[in-house]
């Protein structure tokens, strides 16, 4: 087999792979405005805990759905300084409409403040449950 034939065969093999990689769509993140109810931090364990709920009543069901589908997953929050930080979101089963965020201390938000919660891929869950 000639060198040109090998290159041609390799090109034909790679075209479908490259085409699918270019059309692959990543799930869209959902961002919800939230309000801090409580914050707690343990400097010795180097962990912060934030109890929160949605800021706007209109996003209540959307946040509830995200917490059901993404409990235990990594999300991002935008703190008081404007930067985004990773956190672990947990749905509180005994506290309707409330969520818990676990993240490295110190807490980027204070009690009664507002923040943005971004759930990567959350749009897929919202579209699946209109």
> Which architecture does CATH list for 30-128?
Beta Barrel (2.40)
How far apart, in whole angstroms, are the C-alpha atoms of residue 31 and residue 34?
A: 9
Note the pLDDT tens digit of each residue in 59-78.
Answer: 999 999 999 999 999 999 99
Query: What percentage of the chain reaches a pLDDT higher than 90?
Result: 64
Nearest to 124 by CA among 34, 29, 20: 29
Count H helices and E strands in the chain, helices first: 3, 6
Note the pLDDT tens digit of each residue in 94-121.
Answer: 888 899 999 999 999 999 999 999 999 8
Q: Domain ranges in the chain? A: 30-128
pLDDT value of residue 44? 95
Query: Which residues are CB-neighbours of 10 under 8 A, at least 6 positions away?
Result: none
Whether 42 has a pLDDT exceeding 80, the answer reads yes
Nearest to 88 by CA among 105, 100, 106: 100
Instruction: Give the mean model confidence (pLDDT) for residues 37-49.
Output: 96
Instruction: Give the mean model confidence (pLDDT) for residues 69-93.
Output: 94
């Amino acid at each position: 087999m000639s060198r040109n034939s090998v290159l041609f065969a390799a090109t034909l093999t790679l075209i479908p792979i490259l085409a699918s990689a270019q059309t692959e769509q990543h799930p869209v993140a959902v961002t919800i405005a939230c309000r801090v109810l409580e914050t707690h931090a343990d400097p010795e364990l180097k962990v912060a805990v934030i109890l929160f709920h949605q800021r706007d009543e209109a996003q209540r069901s959307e946040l509830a759905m995200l917490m059901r589908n993404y409990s235990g997953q990594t999300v991002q929050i935008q703190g008081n300084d404007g930067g985004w930080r990773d956190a672990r979101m947990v749905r509180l089963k005994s506290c309707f409409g409330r969520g818990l965020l676990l993240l490295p201390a110190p807490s980027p938000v204070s009690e009664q403040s507002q923040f943005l919660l971004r759930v990567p891929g959350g749009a897929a869950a919202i579209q699946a449950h209109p």
